[in-house]
A and B are shown apart, each in its own frame.
Chain A
Amino acid sequence: MSVKVEQLTKVYGEQKAVDQISFTAHAGRVLGFLGPNGAGKSTTMKIVSCFIPPTAGRASLCGFDVAKDPMEVRRNLGYLPEHNPLYLDMYVKESLSFIANIHQLANKKRRIDEVIELTGLRAEQHKKIGALSKGYRQRVGLAQAMIHDPQVLILDEPTSGLDPNQLIEIRNLIKTLGETKTVILSTHIMQEVEAICDDVVIINKGKVVANQELVGLKNTHKNQSLENIFLTLTKSSSFL
Chain B
Amino acid sequence: MLSIFNKEISGFLNSLVAYITIGVFLLVMGLLLWVFPDSSILEYGYAGLDSLFNTAPYLFMFLIPAITMRTFAEESREGTFELLATRPLTDWHIVLGKYLASLMIVLFALLPTLIYYITVYHLGAVKGNIDTGAVIGSYIGLFLLGAAFVSIGIFASAITNNQIIAFTIAVFLCFFCFIGFDSISQLLSLQTVDTYITALGINEHYQSISRGVLDTRDLVYFLSFIAVFLVITKTILGGRKW
Report if A79 contacts B (CB, 8 A): yes
Q: Using a Cβ cutoff of 8 Å, how many contacts connect chains A and B?
A: 57
Report if A126 contacts B (CB, 8 A): no
Measured in the bound complex, the distance between the Cα atoms of B6 and A101 in whole Å is 10
A77 touching B80 in the complex, CB below 8 Å, given contacts A53-B241, A89-B14, A89-B15: no
Query: Which residue of chain A lies nearest to B93 when distances are taken between CB atoms in the complex?
Result: A102
For chain B, the count of residues having a C-beta within 8 Å of the partner chain is: 23
Q: Is the CB–CB distance between A85 and B86 below 8 Å? A: no
State the main secondary structure of chain B at its contact with A. helix
Query: Which residue of chain B lies nearest to A83 when distances are taken between CB atoms in the complex?
Result: B79
Report if B85 contacts A (CB, 8 A): yes
Q: Is the CB–CB distance between B241 and A102 below 8 Å? A: no
Contact with B86, one of A81, A88, A89, A101 (Cβ below 8 angstroms): A81
Contact with A74, one of B7, B78, B82, B88 (Cβ below 8 angstroms): B88
A46 proximity list for chain B (CB < 8 A): 82
Contact with B78, one of A53, A85, A103 (Cβ below 8 angstroms): A85
Report if B83 contacts A (CB, 8 A): yes
Interface size class of A (residues with CB under 8 A): 20 to 34
- A181-202 vs B, CB cutoff 8 Å, 1 = contact: the mask equals 0000000000000000000000
A77 touching B6 in the complex, CB below 8 Å, given contacts A86-B80, A89-B14: no
Q: Is the CB–CB distance between B87 and A102 below 8 Å? A: yes
- B206-242 vs A, CB cutoff 8 Å, 1 = contact: the mask equals 0000000000000000000000000000000000110
Report if B125 contacts A (CB, 8 A): no
How far in angstroms is the closest Cβ of chain A from B25?
Answer: 23
B4 proximity list for chain A (CB < 8 A): 102
A217 proximity list for chain B (CB < 8 A): none
Q: Is the CB–CB distance between A74 and B87 below 8 Å? A: yes
A99 touching B79 in the complex, CB below 8 Å, given contacts A51-B240, A52-B240, A89-B14: no
B81 proximity list for chain A (CB < 8 A): 85
How far in angstroms is the closest Cβ of chain B from A165?
Answer: 27
A102 proximity list for chain B (CB < 8 A): 3-4, 87-89
A77 proximity list for chain B (CB < 8 A): 86
B14 proximity list for chain A (CB < 8 A): 89
How far in angstroms is the closest Cβ of chain A from B7?
Answer: 5
A51 touching B82 in the complex, CB below 8 Å, given contacts A89-B11, A98-B3, A101-B6: yes
A88 proximity list for chain B (CB < 8 A): 78
A71-B90, A102-B88, A144-B83 are known contacts; what are 7 more A-B pairs with Cβ within 8 Å? A52-B241, A74-B86, A81-B83, A85-B82, A101-B6, A102-B87, A103-B88
The 8 closest A-B pairs by CB, nearest first: A85-B79, A101-B3, A74-B88, A85-B80, A49-B86, A79-B86, A81-B82, A102-B3
What residues of chain B have their CB less than 8 Å away from a CB belonging to chain A? 2-4, 6-7, 10-11, 14-15, 78-83, 85-90, 240-241
7 residue pairs from A and B, CB less than 8 Å apart: A74-B87, A81-B82, A88-B78, A102-B87, A102-B88, A102-B89, A144-B83
